[in-house]
Amino acid sequence: MCGLNSDCDYAPLSAALHSGSEPPAEAVVCEYTLGSIAKWGLECPDRLRMVRDGPWKLCYSLDNRAAGLLYNLEQDPLEQRNRFGEPECSDVVAALMHAGR
């Protein structure tokens, strides 16, 4: 498609563009390595992963999954309230970590 290698991992959006339908929703995952993220309260500075699904955004260290950042972007678009350690959000954290694998 459009000269891209056929084994390229991309979302097939052509059907949605032609029909005007919404493509299926999936979690968005990104990962990168930082020199230091101590200013965000994460102890292990090596690899950070972010998972976004629906209103939730989770950032966590792949080296220390006990620390992280969790935001409900519909209720908290400026990411002011970290809900990672709240017991009522433990299922959300588990689901997002699973989606990020």
**Per-residue pLDDT reduced to its tens digit, 88-98:** 999 999 999 98
Tokens representing 100 are 């990020």
Report if pTM > 0.85: no
**The length of the chain, given as a count of residues:** 101
pLDDT over threshold 80, residue 14:
no
CA–CA distance, 16 with 13 (Å, rounded to integer): 5
55-88 pLDDT, tens digit per residue, is 999 998 887 766 899 999 999 999 999 999 999 9
Architecture of domain 29-99: 2-Layer Sandwich (3.30)
- Provide the pLDDT for residue 3: 52
Residues 6+ apart with CB under 8 A from 44: 61, 62, 63, 64, 67
